[in-house]
């Protein structure tokens, strides 16, 4: 989300996008986060925490890098959506990994919190 704040003036100035266009990138990413918050726990349960975190990190990196080399609004929107899903995955995986480092009697409370 911060990335779009920093590069928004350049998207408007250099690519001719409107502020409304750039606002839609927030919507695309937020939609990805919402969908990812439902999908990624199941994937991480199947893949494992380390693989899930690694996959989320790769998608975050590649999605951000790909955004930097494209000028198409719709490509940006799709990439921001995928980055949103990966953000949710990284959060779920990292919180699960953190909770697993505590004694079993505390894990449920930590994940609930």
Q: What is the DSSP string of 29-92?
A: HHHHHHHHHHHHHHHHHHH-HHHHHHHHHHHHHHHHHHHHT---HHHHHHHHHHHHHHHHHHHH
Both structure tokens of 98: 């953190």
The answer, yes or no, to whether residue 4 has pLDDT greater than 70, is no
d(CA 10, CA 27): 19
User: For 16-75, what is each residue's pLDDT tens digit?
Assistant: 999 888 889 889 999 999 999 999 988 888 988 889 999 999 999 999 899 889 889 999
């Amino acid at each position: 989300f911060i990335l779009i704040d920093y590069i928004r003036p350049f998207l408007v100035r250099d690519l001719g996008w409107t502020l409304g266009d750039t606002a839609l990138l927030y919507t695309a990413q937020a939609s990805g986060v919402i969908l990812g918050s439902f999908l990624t726990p199941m994937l991480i349960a199947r893949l494992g925490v380390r693989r899930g975190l690694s996959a989320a990190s790769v998608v975050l990196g590649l999605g951000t890098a790909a955004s930097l080399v494209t000028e198409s609004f719709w490509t940006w929107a799709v990439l921001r959506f995928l980055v949103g899903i990966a953000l949710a995955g990284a959060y779920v995986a990292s919180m699960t990994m953190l909770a697993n480092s505590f004694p079993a009697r505390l894990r449920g409370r930590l994940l609930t919190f």
